[in-house]
Amino acid sequence: MKTLIASLLGAAVLSASLTAQAQLPPEDQIKFRQAGYSFMSWNMGKIKAMAIDEAVEYDQQQILAAANAINGIAQSGMGALFGPGTEADVGDQATRVDPALFDNFPEVAELSKDFVAASDNLVEQAENGEQSDVRAAFAELGKSCKACHDKYRMD
Amino acid sequence: MKTLIASLLGAAVLSASLTAQAQLPPEDQIKFRQAGYSFMSWNMGKIKAMAIDEAVEYDQQQILAAANAINGIAQSGMGALFGPGTEADVGDQATRVDPALFDNFPEVAELSKDFVAASDNLVEQAENGEQSDVRAAFAELGKSCKACHDKYRMD
């Protein structure tokens, strides 16, 4: 029963996202989702450099700005960019997505929920500004990225 | 004098962004800035479809989510992605930037400030939810994009 509810919920979440825009060609969906992940990774890199590696000076405003960028992207409904026809390379767009993702939307919705929660928490800790809290929140966010990559991103 | 102050301010803004992260190779800077613009354009497209073209159902939460994504990206310090060596194509990364941008940082900083203000306002109007206000804010944001494209993006 729990699985059924999760399944319906996952489907509803994805379908809500899908109806919110005109249908995009699969190639554009892949391009936009990769842009989102790429831009998040730049911002993860900045936080890592400041709060973890201490390779550059710790700057709360810059960490908060990076966290807000990640959070804004995480909450933008990227599920809509995993529509039919985006399971494999299309035209010039190569994708590393594991086609298994498309048979497991309820689980993907759960992983996505964890990711959004972790990015919310990162914003909260960046607002608070304590470096040790930012480090912990950053590690949690990294784990939530990896949880999905391990399952649904191919090498 | 005003020009000198603006010039110093522009340089300071850009330099603050630049020190906030480890130096990225020019190729990565171009890749990440294009990812940011690309992801913003996806979110602009969603708002356009809902609030302007009415091609899909008006949904305040989705408009707000799109506005927050744009705003988070706009405020993330993308000036740091226009470092030395990114004036022209590098490796696999093609760029449409006009090299003149790199000689006019103070003006670019002004254009960027207008863009950030317009994206702040879009978030505010999306929170308020009134479609006519969202349309007006969207038009303003579009103008602020175009102001920079007309000057510093090549066809």
Domains delineated in chain A: 2-152 (1.20.120.10)
Q: What is the mean pLDDT of chain B?
A: 90
* Cα A55 to Cα A49, A50, A66, B78, distances in angstroms: 5, 6, 16, 19
Question: CA of B3: how far to CAs of A66, B7, B10, B107, in Å?
Answer: 30, 6, 10, 10
pLDDT above 60: residue A150: yes
Among chain B residues, the shortest Cα distance to A48 is held by: B21
CB contact (8 A) between residue A38 and residue B32 = yes
Residue A11's pLDDT is 47
Distant-in-sequence, close-in-space partners of B130: CB < 8 Å, separation ≥ 6: none
Residue A4 has pLDDT above 60, yes or no: no
Q: Note whether B76 contacts A: Cβ–Cβ < 8 A.
A: yes
User: Tens digit of pLDDT for each residue in B111-138?
Assistant: 999 999 999 999 999 999 999 999 999 9
What is the spatial distance between Cα B117 and Cα A120, in angstroms, rounded to a whole number? Answer: 23
Q: How far apart are CA B37 and CA B1, in angstroms?
A: 33
pLDDT per residue over B136-154, tens digit each?
Answer: 999 999 999 999 999 999 9
* pLDDT value for B91: 95
Q: Which amino acid does the sequence have at A85?
A: G
Percentage above 70 pLDDT, chain B: 86
Å between A147 CA and nearest CA of chain B: 23
Q: Which residues on A lie below 8 Å from B32 (Cβ)?
A: 38-39, 42
pLDDT, position B24: 96
- Which residue, among A76, A80, A92, A2, has the nearest Cα to A39 in the 3D structure? A76
- Chains A and B: how many Cβ contacts under 8 Å? 107
Give me the residue from A32, A56, A69 closest to B22, CB to CB.
A56
Question: Helix axis angle, B105-128 relative to B60-74, nearest 10°?
Answer: 160
List, in sequence order, the alpha helices (H) in chain B.
2-19, 26-47, 60-74, 105-128, 131-152
| Residue that is written with structure tokens 């190729």 in the block | B27
pLDDT confidence band for B44 (50 / 70 / 90)? very high
A102 contact B CB<8A: no
Q: What is the mean pLDDT of residues A64-76?
A: 98
Nearest to A45 among B21, B62, B77 (CB): B21
Give Dmax (Cα) for chain B: 51
Contact B70 A72 (CB under 8 A): yes
**What integer pLDDT is reported at residue B23 of this predicted model?**
82
- Contacts (Cβ under 8 Å, ≥6 apart) of B116: B74, B75
8 Å CB contact of A46 and B20: yes
Q: Which ipTM score applies to this complex?
A: 0.88
